[in-house]
Structure 1
Amino acid sequence: MNKGKYDIVVLGAGISGIGAAVLAKTKNFSVFVSDNGTISDDDKAVLAQYTIPWEEGHHSTPLILEAQEVIKSPGIPQKAPIIQQLHEQGIPVISEIEFAKRYTHAKMICITGSNGKTTTTSLIYYTLKNAGLNVGLAGNIGQSFALQVATCNFDYYVIELSSFQLDNMYDFKADIAILLNITPDHLDRYNYQFQQYIDAKFRIIQNQTENDIFIYWNDDPVITAELDKRNIHAQQFPFALEHKKGEKAYLQDNQLIMNTPSNTFAIPREEIALQGLHNLYNSMAAGLAASSVDVKKETIRDSFRNFQGVPHRLEYVASVRGIRFINDSKATNVNSCWYALQSMDTPVVLILGGTDKGNDYSEIEALVQEKAHTLIFLGVDNSKLHTFFDKMGKPMIDVRSMEEAVQTAYKGANKGDTVLLSPCCASFDLFKNYEDRGDQFKTVVRNL
Structure 2
Amino acid sequence: MAKQRLVILGGGESGVGTALLGKEKGFDVFVSDKGKIKEKYKDVLIHNEIEWEDEKHSEKKILNAHMVMKSPGIPDKAPLVKTIREKGILVVSEIEFAAQYTSATIIGITGSNGKTTTATLAHHILKQKLEVGLAGNIGDSFAKQILEKDYPNYVLEISSFQLDDIVDFKPHIAVITNITPDHLDRYDYKFENYIASKFRITMNQTKDDYLIYDADDEIINNHLKEYPIQSQLLPFSLTKTIENGAYLKDNNIIITIDNNQMIMPTTNLALEGKHNIKNAMAASTAAHLLKIRKQTIRECLENFQGVEHRLEHVLKINKVQYINDSKATNVNSTYYALESMDAPTVWIVGGVDKGNNYEELFPFVNEKVKAIICLGVDNEKLFNTFSNMVDVIIETQFMSEAVKIAYKIAEAGDTVLLSPACASFDLFENYEDRGRQFKNAVRNL
| Normalised-by-shorter TM-score class | over 0.9
**Residue 39 in structure 1 maps to residue 37 in structure 2:** yes
> For the residues of structure 1 that align with 2:391 and 2:4, how far apart are their CA atoms?
59
Deviations 1:130-173 (A, max 9, x none): 12x11000001111000111111200000000111111011100
Letter in 1 for 2:166: M
Aligned equivalents of 2:297, 2:307: Cα separation in 1: 18
For the residues of structure 1 that align with 2:317 and 2:327, how far apart are their CA atoms?
22
Tell me what 1:120 maps to: 118
Letter in 2 for 1:442: K
Q: Does 1:82 align with 2:80?
A: yes
Counterpart selection for 2:168 from 168, 171, 193: 171
Determine if contact 1:263/1:297 at 8 Å carries over to the other structure.
no
Deviations along 1:229-249, whole A, 9 cap, x unmatched?
A: 112111110000134353511
C-alpha contact 1:181 1:223 (8 A) present in aligned 2 = yes
Percent identity between the two aligned chains? 54
Q: Which residue of 2 aligns with 1:60?
A: 58
Mapped pair 1:188 → 2:185: yes
Contact 1:6 / 1:66 at 8 angstroms: preserved in 2?
A: no
Q: Distance in 2 between matches of 1:142 and 1:13?
A: 16
Residues 232-381 of structure 1 mapped to structure 2, 5 A cutoff: 232-261=229-258, 263-381=260-378
Contact 1:125–1:137 (Cα < 8 Å) also in 2 = yes
Aligned partners of 2:415 and 2:24: how far apart in 1? 51
Return the letter of the residue paired with 1:249. A
Aligned to 1:106: 104
Counterpart contact for 1:96–1:146, Cα < 8 Å:
yes
Q: Is the 8 A contact 2:216 2:239 kept in 1?
A: no
Distance in 1 between residues matched to 2:97 and 2:61, nearest whole Å: 21
Cα shift readout 1:382-439 (whole Å, capped 9, x = no counterpart): 1111121123253110011000100001111111000000000000000000000000
Structure 1, gaps ≥5 residues long: none
SS at match of 1:427: coil
- Secondary structure of the residue aligned to 2:387 is helix
Corresponding position of 1:219? 216
Match of 1:402 among 383, 399, 402: 399
Q: CA deviation at 1:261?
A: 2.1
Q: Secondary structure at the match of 1:391?
A: coil
How big is the shift at 1:263?
4.0
User: TM (normalized to structure 2)?
Assistant: 0.98
Separation (CA, whole Å) in 2 of partners of 1:166 and 1:446: 39
Q: Which moved more, 1:382-391 or 1:9-18?
A: 382-391
Name the counterpart of 2:426: 429
C-alpha displacement of 1:128:
0.5
The answer for unaligned runs of 5 or more in structure 2 is none
Give runs of aligned pairs for residues 138-153 of structure 1, distance below 5 A: 138-153=135-150
- Which residue is equivalent to 1:414? 411
SS in 2 for 1:76: coil
Amino acid at match of 1:358: G
Partner Cα separation in structure 1 for residue 406 and residue 84 of structure 2:
48
* Distance (whole Å) between structure 1 residues aligned to residue 429 and residue 259 of structure 2: 45
One-letter amino acid of the counterpart of residue 148, structure 2: T
* 3-state SS of 2:174 partner: strand
* Secondary structure at the counterpart of residue 71 of structure 1: strand
Q: Which amino acid aligns with 2:374?
A: F
Give, in whole Å, the separation in 1 of the partners of 2:391 and 2:84: 50
1:390 maps to 2:393: no
| 1:446 paired to 2:443 | yes
Secondary structure of the 2:127 match is helix
Q: Which amino acid aligns with 2:322?
A: F
Q: CA deviation at 1:257?
A: 1.1
For residue 271 of structure 1, give the secondary structure of its aligned residue in structure 2: coil
> 1-side partners of 2:217 and 2:145: how far apart?
34
Task: State the alpha-carbon separation in 2 of the partners of residues 150 and 319 from structure 1.
Answer: 44
SS at match of 2:61: helix
The answer to whether structure 1 residue 154 and structure 2 residue 151 are counterparts is yes
Provide Cα deviations, 1:40-72, integer angstroms capped at 9, x if missing partner: 111111112221000000000121111011000
Aligned residues: 444
RMSD in angstroms over aligned alpha carbons?
1.2
Checking the alignment, whether the CA contact within 8 Å between 2:371 and 2:390 is kept in structure 1 is no
Amino acid at match of 1:71: M
Contact 1:6 1:32 in 2 (8 A): no
Give the residue type in structure 1 aligned to 2:126.
Answer: L
